[in-house]
Amino acid sequence: ALWWVRRNAPAAQALTADELLDEIASLDDGFEAGEYPEADYRREREKLKAQLKRRMKDER
């Protein structure tokens, strides 16, 4: 989806855990505002959560 293009840039892989949490919160807010279809929202949220888990493990 077009709204997700900026997060698919290579820099997205270098986000900190805090930045990933901010991205999830922003995605949640957008979904609640009706900006994203549910299937897209759930898919992107799962991707962000997986990245967050990896980042938190790396930052230990």
User: In the prediction, which pLDDT does 60 show?
Assistant: 78
For the chain, the structural domain boundaries read 16-58
- Whole-model pTM: value is 0.77
Condensed to tens digits (0 to 9), the pLDDT of residues 18-60 reads: 999 999 999 999 999 999 999 999 999 999 999 999 999 987 7
Q: Name the nearest CA neighbour of 45 among 26, 17, 19, 18.
A: 26
User: In the prediction, which pLDDT does 25 show?
Assistant: 95
Contacts of 59 (CB under 8 A, 6+ apart): 16, 17
* C-alpha of 54 from chain center: 13
User: In the prediction, which pLDDT does 12 show?
Assistant: 52
* Amino acid at the residue 41: Y
Furthest C-alpha separation in the chain: 36
Q: Which two tokens stand for residue 14?
A: 């270098």
| Cα–Cα dist 30/52, whole Å | 19
pLDDT above 60 (res 16): yes
